[in-house]
């Protein structure tokens, strides 16, 4: 296909904002009988599903050759060289409980490498975008990760386990270490927003396990293009598919990743 990163990113950003507008309009309109339980503590409503359908329809016209990997599986899941990876509403539980931290998260991958990313944080109307080799931006302003290199002066983020509790004891021990050796730990309830905030230098580091590709696909490129480092807990390159992620500035990464590995790996 004829790919132009700037043009395609502009089109992607518009689609994400449009769908974000739909989601915002539906806030506090979802009744209890319209909420489904997909799995333990995993909720979904017609808003997630309709948002995904809108994204798929619009993105298929932007990049007809691309396949789709989507959370709600409202379209055929087909692996191709070009892939849209979509979380139509990251932070569904926040949305349903009227906690204003949730986002549309979409990335375009080419041969398993991220080339475009958009996280639209609806509550604050913040549009985080990135294209490979072109930097990362929030509402058109260039962003970069924090330069903080000391854990003791760092604000960290994570996501609490909600279905995979096999490493809960190790996770709690790691949290206890961070409670006493950092500025604090935050849990917003949206991995996409957490990663966007690392890219913007608001969080110094983020780690989580039990994730899916659509949770992190866009955030990975945002952090990388903002000058940060992404890996799995081992320090490898399986953050997209390995269901675990470490993200931080390069200045903090070595110490941060080593601590996560020390507590969370066998």
| 170, 195: one domain | yes
pTM value? 0.96
The residue out of 120, 143, 166 marking a domain boundary is 143
| 136, 15: one domain | yes
| 91, 39: one domain | yes
- At residue 134, does pLDDT exceed 70? yes
Beta strands in 172-215 (DSSP E): 184-186, 205-209
CATH number at residue 130: 3.30.540.10
| 230, 213: one domain | yes
Q: How confident is the model at residue 32 (pLDDT cuts 50, 70, 90)?
A: confident
Q: What percent of the chain has pLDDT over 90?
A: 89
| 76, 137: one domain | yes
- pLDDT (mean) for 48-52: 94
- At residue 225, does pLDDT exceed 80? yes
| 18, 76: one domain | yes
| 120, 175: one domain | no
- Of 119, 149, 144, 158, which Cα lies nearest the Cα of 244? 158
| 39, 17: one domain | yes
Q: How many CA atoms lie within 13 A of 105 on its CB side?
A: 30
| 138, 161: one domain | no
Q: What is the 3-state secondary structure (H, E, C) of 204-241?
A: CEEEEECCCHHHHHHHHHHHHHCCEEEECCCCCCCCCC
The CA angle 128-3-21, to the nearest 5 degrees, is: 35
Q: How confident is the model at residue 38 (pLDDT cuts 50, 70, 90)?
A: confident
The residue out of 102, 121, 143 marking a domain boundary is 143
How many domains are contained in the chain?
A: 2
- Whole-angstrom Cα Rg for the chain: 17
Domain range for 136 is 5-143
Token pair recorded at residue 122: 């609806």
The residue out of 107, 125, 143 marking a domain boundary is 143
Q: What are phi and psi of 248, to 5 degrees?
A: -170, 180
- pLDDT (mean) for 204-223: 97
Give pLDDT, residue 26: 94
CATH number at residue 156: 3.40.190.80
| 22, 109: one domain | yes
């Amino acid at each position: 296909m004829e790919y132009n990163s700037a043009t395609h990113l502009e089109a992607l950003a518009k689609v994400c904002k449009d769908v974000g507008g739909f989601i915002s309009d539906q806030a506090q309109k979802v009744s209890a009988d319209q909420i489904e339980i997909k799995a333990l503590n995993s909720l979904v409503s017609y808003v997630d599903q309709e948002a995904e359908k809108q994204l798929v329809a619009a993105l298929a016209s932007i990049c007809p050759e691309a396949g789709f990997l989507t959370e709600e599986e409202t379209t055929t899941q087909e692996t191709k060289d070009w892939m849209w990876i979509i979380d139509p509403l990251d932070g569904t539980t926040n949305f349903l409980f009227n906690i204003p931290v949730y986002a549309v998260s979409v990335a375009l991958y080419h041969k398993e490498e991220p080339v475009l990313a958009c996280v639209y944080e609806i509550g604050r109307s913040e549009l985080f975008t990135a294209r490979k080799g072109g930097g990362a931006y929030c509402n058109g302003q260039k962003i970069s990760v924090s330069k903080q290199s000391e854990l003791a002066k760092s604000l960290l983020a994570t996501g609490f386990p909600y279905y995979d509790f096999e490493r809960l004891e190790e996770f709690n021990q790691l949290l206890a270490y961070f409670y006493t050796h950092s500025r604090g730990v935050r849990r917003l309830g949206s991995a996409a927003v957490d990663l966007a905030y690392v890219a913007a230098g608001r969080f110094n580091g983020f780690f989580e396990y039990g994730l899916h590709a659509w949770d992190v696909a866009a955030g990975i490129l945002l952090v990388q293009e903002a000058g940060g480092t992404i890996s799995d807990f081992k320090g490898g390159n399986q953050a997209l598919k390995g269901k675990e992620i470490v993200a931080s500035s390069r200045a903090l990464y070595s110490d941060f990743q080593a601590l996560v590995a020390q507590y969370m790996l066998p």
